[in-house]
Amino acid sequence: MSVVFHEESRTFSINTQNSTYQFKVGRYGHLLHLYYGRSMQESADFLIVPVDRGFSGNPYEAGVDKTYSLDSFPQELPTNGTGDYRSPAVIIENADGTEAVDFRYTGYSIEDGKYSLSGLPAVYTEGSENAQTLRIYMEDPFTHVKAELLYGVLPEIDIITRALIIRNGGEGKIYLEKVQGAVLDFVTGDYDLITFHGRHTMERVPDRTPVGHTNQSVCSRRGMSSHQYNPFVILADRSANEDAGDCWSMAFVYSGGFKAECEKDQYDQTRLQMGLMDEKFRYPLQSGQEFICPEVIMTYSAEGFARLSHNMHDCIRRHVCRGKFRDAVRPVLINSWEASYFNFTGELLFELAMQAKESGVEMLVMDDGWFSDRDDDRHALGDWFVNEHKLDGTLKHLVDRVNDIGLKFGIWIEPEGVNESSELYKEHPDWALVIPGRKPNRSRYQLILDFSRKEVVDCIYERISNVLRSANIEYVKWDFNRSIFDVYSATAREQGSVMYDYVLGLYDFLERMNRDFPNVMIEGCSGGGGRFDAGMLYYTPQIWCSDNTDAIDRLSIQYGTSFAYPISAVGSHVSVVPNEQNGRVTDISVRSAVAMAGSFGYEFSFTKIPQSDRDTINADIETYKRLAPLMMNGLYYRLSVPLKDAFTAWEMVARDGSEALVTAVTTEIHGNMPIRYVRMKGLETGRMYRDEASGREYPADVLMQIGWPIPAVLGEYHAYRLHLVRV
């Protein structure tokens, strides 16, 4: 059994293959956290040491016992108004205007299988997969507000999930002011917090900071998970590295505003927590209503960051992503955006498809500019009607022509945005999120449609569906090109509910697309990586990693992304040089090597690249198709740190150790440099491996202890690939 309840001690133990998570019901019904770490069978309740602490209050029931204090005890669900002055997970304004909630344990249930969440994405299992759910029931005896804590257990991959449901069991309306579904309390230890920050075109840069006596937080106030901070964090021992040390992670399965916090308290205890962003959030609950806080994925590794990433990759690849494309090698595509931007016709798109077909490309994606009078980003967004004049005929006519030469066809959409000049906005100005009496904040000359309203979602879904049904569309790139500033819904009774309900509307739209168009693969995008999170991956099995396609910048972007997200989820393409984001020039061999660490494709016009580059594309595509199963499903290892080392290297290893693919890109060149060695990981000790290209054989132990010497070649930016096969 993964979940065990010990009646005598009232202790719950959640066991995975390599970890144990343990908590107990305290003397007065509070849930006290005990342990999360290496597997063990015994009780860890001795870790809680009752001490009389000055200025730390005590529950009334404790009477004269001043040693029982929630201000110093580790907890599963800390709340406001209970004497715990650390950051709470839940803040509620009660019907009488008071702010206090004191959840006490009332019962539990254990069931086989993994729970699901109504209207929200969540980790899932299939068929006979071993999984369990633990439900903990709690209630405030004064207000009768109830809490249901859900724990999902996937023991084989060391994954534990947490979610929280709050129900108003009282008489009057209450307001949820802060809701976070996951909390970890550590009674001792010195830790680092690793977060992933960035900006548009430079996302998910790791930042490692010692946890001190302060509250550290990362969050998004933008209505999406954001380019600036990713909803994934790691807490690690100060000495933890890729291959050794204790580390824990949290990933929010949600695509809206989030907040992750970490603090060391007055007694050197550390609290890590994650959930919804509390700014612009004040959610009303009438009597009998419930609220679901999105899920948090947690995992623990005693073997450093590589093992932690493997757990997360397995979870997202097989238990978050869904549908027929989850395990499929994605078609190699050419996207029209950097080839022509808005300036295309149906004939030009067909010519691009013809050129791409000659090089082995499998799909043409028509990007922004195909609808209404959309010739720039100031017009027509929201008017989802095919511009047949621009396409030289119907969409079906163009798609059929492209299909006839053997290419699939994809299309770009941005359902959540609207231009003020559009017919949709003129007909329904109240459908946009705009504060009454104020001029709206614009971004990319557009506003955001109010997806918290069902009639708005229904209308846009019908229009997009009509387009998808009109032709053989097999791929959709879903974009979202601005943050949300003006939070006001014309029909919402409570504006504090709008942002959460907006995300529910987004998920409703995406769920319908998955249901009605199961043969259409959706790629998520938000100006690249602005909404790269586990919530979107539940509906879109891959996400455009970044609008920055420069190979050298991508080394850092894809490095940071790899800590939580598998290669199969990463959209990555080869583009022109000089690169249009930063002007850098790199050889196509480097651009191809970096783009193959993701779903592979191209972002240029074939007439704008040298013939020598075109000659290599066929071979690159053949290489990708041959190695894609290994890259999509192998164990991923980071072999260097971008910007710190003189090269960046990564490796994918078959789970049985039968083969490995190692890629290295040199990023520095100096006079008389020392030889650089790439130390490999995950190979089978005592065995020999043959390099497929050269035929040379290498002993695995030497490759893992010393490494493979990178050739000493003059000039910047060279890429090397070794496909090693076990002899």
Q: b or e along 462-497 (b: 16 or more beta carbons within 10 Å of the residue's beta carbon)? A: ebbeebbeebebbbbbbbbbbbbbbbebeebeeebb
547 is catalytic: yes
DSSP 351-420: HHHHHHHHTT--EEEE-S--BTT-SSTTS-TT---B-TTTTTS-HHHHHHHHHHTT-EEEEEE-TTEE-T
- Return d(Cα 169, Cα 374) in angstroms, integer: 51
Residue 245 burial (CB < 10 Å; 0-12/13-18/19+)?
A: middle
377 is catalytic: no
Q: Where are the beta strands (DSSP E) in 599-646?
A: 599-603, 635-638
678 token code pair = 């790439």
Element (H, E) at 197: strand 191-199
340 token code pair = 């022509």
- Return d(Cα 88, Cα 178) in angstroms, integer: 8
The answer to whether 127 and 209 are in contact (CB under 8 A) is: no
- Return d(Cα 678, Cα 46) in angstroms, integer: 46
- Return d(Cα 277, Cα 503) in angstroms, integer: 13
Residue with tokens 């164990």: 635
Closest CA to 409 of 466, 356, 371, 341: 356
- Return d(Cα 604, Cα 224) in angstroms, integer: 29
What is the DSSP secondary structure assignment for residue 342, as one 8-state letter? Answer: T
CB within 8 A of 24, min separation 6: which ones?
9, 10, 11, 12, 31, 32, 34, 45
The answer to whether 309 and 563 are in contact (CB under 8 A) is: yes
Residue with tokens 């830790």: 191
Q: Where are the beta strands (DSSP E) in 422-489?
A: 447-448, 475-478
Provide the residue count of the chain: 727
Other CB atoms closer than 10 Å to residue 615's CB: what's the count? Answer: 11
- Return d(Cα 58, Cα 62) in angstroms, integer: 7
Q: Point out the catalytic residue in the list 314, 547, 587, 613.
A: 547
Q: Point out the catalytic residue in the list 368, 479, 587, 620.
A: 479
Which are the catalytic amino acids? 479, 547
